[in-house]
Amino acid sequence: MKHALPLLAATALLSASPAQAIVGGGTPATGGVARSVVTIVGSRGNFCTGSLIAPRIVLTAAHCVPPGAEYRLVDYSAGTPALQTVKTVAIHPAFKMEAMLSHRATADVALLRLEQPAKGRSAAALGMPTIPIAVGERFTIAGIGVTVRGDGKSGGTIRVAGLITTGRPGSLQIRLVDPVGQGTRAGLGACTGDSGAPVFEDKPGGPVIVGVVSWSTGPNGSAGCGGMTGVTPLTLYRDWLLQTARQWGAAL
């Protein structure tokens, strides 16, 4: 299997030619689970997805926020981009970039502390997947990534897609595919810019975030998007997330 996208992208791609849909063709959304979704941009030219879990706390993937750069949230809702400063970044100490790039399980989670509460967003509840996770179970992803690989102008719109589990889902890694294409032909799935996107599971009280998007492939494990979406579940990392947020004065 070829290396998946780390799902980072240069912001220069945002000036590329237009295309059609996103999250492999998912539905544009402003309500529901989409209300927590934010866009993260880095001073080194990458963009990712994050989710608000407290007024000043954003959950994302660790590989989205490597040390040595500055990060901001960008809001396009008013037409002109508005930036919000990220004050602090905390990456899980067990995260290994080499493992993530090879599709191996790793602690691909990070938290961002904002200088000011995120504008126009609502915090989502943080949880864990229901164990055991069966093949065919449904999860929802929501991201701002591109619709077509390499077409950055198609990014920046929040889109939502329903995917199902495949392979051997567990507490270390979950692999999701389009229920129609089953990963063998192009379908719904994360793409460039969807790294760090929240993965929701429906619970009795409503949808909660149970993982983050880490990587993707094209059909049959090829390079690209629309085949498989790799998810880091929060099962082993939720305690660290809660502890870090408490140290920053936030109760989740």
Q: In total, how many domains does the chain have?
A: 1
The pLDDT assigned to 78 comes to 62
How high is the pLDDT of residue 245? 96
Residue 106 lies in a domain: yes
SS3 content of the chain, % helix, strand, coil (to 5): 15, 35, 50
Domain assignment present for 175: no
Q: What is the per-residue DSSP string for 160-195?
A: EEEEEEES---SS-EEEE-TTTTTSSS-S---TT-T
- Has residue 185 been placed in a domain? no
Residue 136 lies in a domain: no
Going by the DSSP 8-state scheme, the letter that residue 1 receives in this structure is: -
27 part of a folded domain:
no
pLDDT of residue 154: 60
| CB-based contact 116:56 (threshold 8 Å) | yes
Within the chain, which residues score under 50 in pLDDT? Answer: 1-22
DSSP state of 76: -
Based on its alpha-carbon atoms, the radius of gyration of the chain, rounded to whole angstroms, reads 16
Give the domain CATH number at 47.
2.40.10.10
Please tell me the predicted confidence (pLDDT) of residue 152. 62
- The maximal CA–CA distance of the chain, rounded, in angstroms, is 46
- The span from the CA of 213 to the CA of 9, in Å, is 15
pLDDT tens digits, one per residue of 69-106: 999 999 876 666 778 999 999 999 999 999 988 878 99
Task: Give one word for 5, left, alpha or beta, with left for phi > 0 and alpha for psi -120 to 50.
Answer: beta
Q: What percent of the chain has pLDDT over 90?
A: 60
Identify the CA nearest to 23 among candidates 140, 167, 237, 188: 188
Looking at residue 23, its pLDDT comes to 56
Domain containing 70 equals 37-123+237-247
pLDDT digits (tens, 9 = 90+) for 142-177: 999 887 666 566 667 899 999 999 999 999 999 999
Please report whether residue 67 resides in a domain.
yes
Output the CA torsion 22→83→76→144 (10° steps).
10
139 touches 174 (CB < 8 A): yes
Residue that the structure tokens 């998810």 belong to: 231
Q: pTM of the prediction?
A: 0.88
